[in-house]
Amino acid sequence: MKRQAFTLAEVLAATGLLLLMMIPSFPVLPRARESARQAQCLDNVKRFATGILLYAYDYDGAIVPWFKIREYPGQPLNERFWIGQLQPYLHTQLLPPDPGKTYTVGGQPVGMHRCPEWTLERFLRGTNMPDCYPQAWEWAMPPTQIFAHYAVPFAMAVRSGSGTIEDPYCQWAGSLCYPPELGGVTRYLHEIKRPQETEVLADGITFLDKGPAYVATNGGGCESQKIHGDGSNFAFADGHARFIAGNAERYLDTTVEDGRTVWYMRYFTFSMP
C-alpha cells in the first residue's frame, strides 16, 4: 500500500533543508528593496524632466524657476515653488496649507514629490561630508515643511570659479522669476551648450526653514551624494535621467578658453562647450 503521510522526522529534515537553502538569499532582500526604491525615485526624476521640457515649450524655451513672485495675497508656497509651476503638466498632488497660512506645519512631500529612499539624515550626511559644505544647513533645520525630495538649480547669473582643477568653473542652469530690477534671471534651453550633461533637477530638498522665514531648494551637487547609498539621481536638459555615483561636483572636464586650458564641473556649468 502506498504511504500517504510523512513522519515528523522527515518533515523537520525537509524544513531544515529549505531554511539552509534560503539563508544565502536573506542579505539580497534588503538590497532588492533598496534597488526598487531607487528605481522609483529615478522614475520620478524622469517624469520631472519631461515636465521641465513641457514648461519650456510653453514659455519660449525658459527653464522653470525654482521660485516665483507672489501673484495674490495668501498664495500657498507650493504654488510658487517649481513643483506648483510644473503641476499643470504632471498633474501632481500639492499638499493644502494650514488654515490661515501659506504652508503646512510638519508637511511632507506627497505623490511623486516623495522619494521612498530619501531621509533628512541622508541629505545632511551628504552636505556635511568634508568635500561638501559641512554644517551649511544646520541653521535651517528641522524644516517647517518639506515640499519635495528633489530640487532644481538656483539662478546663477554669472560663472563662478577660476578655472583651475582646485577651483573649477561652475554655472547652474537655473531660473529665478523675480523682476529684473530685483536681480532675477531666466535661463533658456538654447543657452545650454551641452544639454546631455547639464543638470536641471536632482535628488535634494525643497523646503521652508524652521523659522519659518526662508524658502530654499538645494541638491544635485555634493549635498545629495548619500541619498541612494553612494550617489543620486539626475535629470538633464535633453530630457534623460540617470544615477551618478558619489559627489557629482567632482566630475570635471577641461576645455581651451582664451588660449589656456580651464577646468569646469561637468554637470553644473551650462555655459561651457
Could you identify the residue written with the cell 561651457? Answer: 272
Q: What is the pTM of this model?
A: 0.86
Can the peptide bond before residue 273 be classed as cis, meaning omega within 30 degrees of 0? no
Q: How high is the pLDDT of residue 35?
A: 72
> What is the model's pLDDT at position 156?
82
- Per-residue pLDDT in tens (0 to 9) along the chain, 273 residues: 444 555 656 556 666 666 666 666 555 555 667 677 778 999 999 999 999 999 999 999 999 999 998 889 999 999 999 999 999 999 999 999 999 999 999 999 999 999 999 999 999 999 999 999 999 999 999 999 999 999 999 888 889 999 999 999 999 999 987 656 666 788 999 999 999 999 999 999 999 999 999 999 887 789 999 999 899 999 999 999 999 999 999 999 999 999 999 999 999 999 999
3-state per-residue secondary structure call for the chain: CCCCCCCHHHHHHHHHHHHHHHHHHCCHHHHHHHHHHHHHHHHHHHHHHHHHHHHHHHCCCECCEEEECCCCCCCCHHHHEHHHHHHHHHCCCCCCCCCCCCCCCCCCCCHHHCCCCCCHHHHHHHHCCCCCCCCCCHHHCCCCEEEEEEECCCCCCCCECCCCCCCCEEECCCEEECCHHHCCECCEHHHCCCHHHCEEEEEEEEEECCCCCCEEEEECCHHHCCCCCCEEEEEECCCCEEEEECCHHHCEEEEEECCEEEEEEEEEECCCC
Predicted local confidence at residue 190, as pLDDT: 96
pLDDT at 167: 97
Place of cell 504632471: 90
